[in-house]
Structure 1
Amino acid sequence: MVQYPNLYVLVAKKKAKIKELYNNMNGGTFWDWAWTRAPNTDVEKQEIDSLKVQLQQQKRSHVGDIWVWRNHEHQEFSVKNVKLTLGRNLDLNSSPSMFCWNSWATGKSAAFVWRAIENKIPSVVALRDRGINLQDVTCKICGARDESAEHILLSCNLAARLWEAVKNWTKTQSVNINGSIAELLQSILEGQRSRHRRKMLHAIAIQSMWILWKNINEKVFTGKLRSAQMIIEDIKDTSFQGVKLRSKYSSITKQEWWDFNFIL
């Protein structure tokens, strides 16, 4: 279909397997393409000649198909071969990602925060560093600093107000917005609380950054920015649905969640 499009048009059995189209006769191979009509134009004849040459160079086998890994085509697929290939292309001694995946947060929000930690979200600074010609890289919300991932998700005026609201809502003593995203999340996981409460606060933090990012994009592309109160209400509602659906604490009521008053 790709290499010989004119012949493909003439083939009656377009989904036939190779073994269905040839027979071994008198030590040779007889190809039966079941044409709707014989190739007769110059282009069709050139394609059939090229196809015959290509087929003569192939060794056919009656052995069943197997999965293979690139650079190890002569061996059946194995995890060992994958590891060998990755080992040649990756620095296995480099520090692992500090991000802890949280099943109580949505997949999109977790993937987003992981990318933010790796500086792979399209902040203005990241786009500039990738070679895009941008005249102004200051934050479109506060205008105080360059729009890096950590600025817009932690220390921007809007972000700072949201983290203060999250801290008050969850009755948390403090939220470290002066460090990195990874440090903020790590401080939550290392807090003096029960394991499940730490996981719940960790999920809320992840969801908060995702919702903040969506609202910033809304401001950039449409010029509309919801109030901090509306955004925090969205954070409460979305994180509540996540915990209800993904944890064993499905009995928590909405009022208990809004008051953040429940026993884990």
Structure 2
Amino acid sequence: MAILDKLTAETGQITLTKVPDSWCWGLSIDGVFNVNQTRKHIDAVVLPNTCIPTIWCKLVPLKINVFVCRMALNRLPSRVNLSSRGIEIQDIGCALCDWNVETIDHVLFSCQVASDMWRKLAGDK
């Protein structure tokens, strides 16, 4: 069968109307774009392996929301994360204490140097 015959067979069932073209959002029943439906779709499809919903705190700057979300998903560029993604890292040890490997949990919570810094920032001695 020739290409033109195949094309005619495929398009033979299409009926054109005089209704003007318009955009239709496929994630909602009424076809109107909705941020909430989009967020739910992203949670369901793009982030299926996490139990953390993408709910933003409006009282906190956007950069902080993004940082916390990336931290919770272990997507911050620690030495271990960079190394696991194929980037050559000479040493994956913590640059602050050189006692443990540099993971997100270590740098933000268990590194003694980082803990001392957090205490000083909080006003403790």
- The alignment's TM-score, normalised by the length of structure 1, stands at 0.32
Instruction: Indicate which of 111, 116, 129 corresponds to 2:71.
Output: 116
Tell me the alpha carbon deviations over residues 129-158 of structure 1, each in whole angstroms, 9 at most, x when there is no partner. 223233311112221111111111122233
Cα distance in 2 between the residues matched to 1:157 and 1:69: 51
1:155 aligns with 2:103: no
User: Are 1:77 and 2:31 an aligned pair?
Assistant: yes
**SS at structure 1 position matched to 2:124:** helix
Q: Which residue of 2 aligns with 1:168?
A: 124
Give the direction of change, closer, same or farther, for the CA distance of 1:59–1:123 in structure 2 (3 Å limit).
farther
Counterpart-to-counterpart distance in 2, 1:89 and 1:130: 23
Equivalent residues in 2 for 1:1-264 (5 A)? 61-68=17-24, 77=31, 89=45, 96-97=51-52, 101-165=56-120, 166=122, 168=124
TM-superposition CA deviations, 1:100-143 (whole Å, max 9, x none): 74333211012101211110111111112223233311112221
Question: Take 1:145 and 1:60, find their aligned partners in 2: how far apart are those partners?
Answer: 67
Does the 8 Å CA contact 1:99/1:117 hold for their aligned counterparts? no
**Following superposition, which runs of at least 4 residues in structure 1 exceed 6 angstroms of deviation?**
85-88
Percent of aligned pairs with the same amino acid: 26
Alpha-carbon distance between aligned partners in 2 of 1:86 and 1:110, rounded to the nearest angstrom? 17
Mapped to 1, the partners of 2:54 and 2:74 lie a distance apart of: 12
Aligned partners of 2:43 and 2:54 also within 8 Å: no
Unaligned stretches of 5+ in structure 2?
1-10
The 8 Å contact of residues 126 and 148 in structure 1, kept in 2 or not, is answered as yes
Paired with 2:59 and 2:47, the residues of 1 have a C-alpha distance of: 31
Aligned equivalents of 2:112, 2:44: Cα separation in 1: 45
Number of positions where the alignment pairs a residue of Structure 1 with one of Structure 2 = 108
Tell me, which stretches of 5 or more residues in structure 1 are unaligned?
1-56, 170-264
Matched AA of 1:77: G
Work out whether residues 138 and 146 of structure 1, in 8 Å CA contact, stay in contact via their aligned partners in 2. yes
AA paired with 2:67?
Answer: F
Structure with greater proportional helix content: 1
CA 1:90–1:112 in 2, change beyond 3 Å: closer, same or farther? closer
Q: Which has the higher contact order (CA 8 A, sep 6+)?
A: 1
Letter in 2 for 1:67: W
The alpha-carbon distance between structure 1 residues 153 and 87, as it changes in their structure 2 partners (threshold 3 A), is closer
